[in-house]
Amino acid sequence: MGLDTNILCYSLDPAYPEHPHVKDLLLSLSPEKAIAVNPTVIHESYHTLVYGQKFERAEASNRLMLLLKHPYIIFLNQTRKTSQIGLDIATRYRLGGRDSLILANYISGKIPVMYTHDGELVSLQHVAWRSTSLEIRDPLVA
């Protein structure tokens, strides 16, 4: 499963009212229950934690660095192909650049599900590129 920025931030910061609903995502990681992230999600999370949640820069960086070192966090790199897929997704689904890049990264990494609390993305339910599909779910909705 891939995480969108909002879900990662909710799980890292207990100050969010959504935290109790997603805190176990990171606490219950295992070989059978790994999660995927990518550069866009990591850097958007840093920005949100520092500028939105008023974390000290070092604290936000440390939390994200620890996350990146976790053995059950899959880190997906971005390539030129990821950007090409993202541009196609942005056009076909009428999405912004960052959202489409995040989706493209998970699609190209063969991640089957992405968790997000972004209403625009959740309303899509899934996105597809060629023969690969990504289901989009909101973990805060039962």
- CA dihedral (59, 60, 66, 72) positive or negative: positive
What is the arithmetic mean of pLDDT over 34-60? 98
Within the chain, what is the greatest distance between any pair of CA atoms? 43
pLDDT at position 28 over 70: yes
Asked if the structure places residue 11 within a domain, the reply is yes
Asked if the structure places residue 107 within a domain, the reply is yes
What is the arithmetic mean of pLDDT over 27-52? 97
Asked if the structure places residue 142 within a domain, the reply is no
Asked if the structure places residue 29 within a domain, the reply is yes
pLDDT tens per residue, range 81-134: 999 999 999 999 999 999 999 999 999 999 999 999 999 999 999 999 999 999
Asked if the structure places residue 6 within a domain, the reply is yes
Asked if the structure places residue 120 within a domain, the reply is yes
CB atoms within 10 A of CB 95: 20
Asked if the structure places residue 79 within a domain, the reply is yes
Residue 9 — φ and ψ, nearest 5°?
-65, -45
Asked if the structure places residue 89 within a domain, the reply is yes
In this structure, what CATH number is given to the domain that contains residue 17?
3.40.50.1010
The total domain count for the chain is 1
Domain of residue 127, residue span:
2-137
Report the predicted TM-score, pTM, of the whole model to 2 decimal places. Answer: 0.94
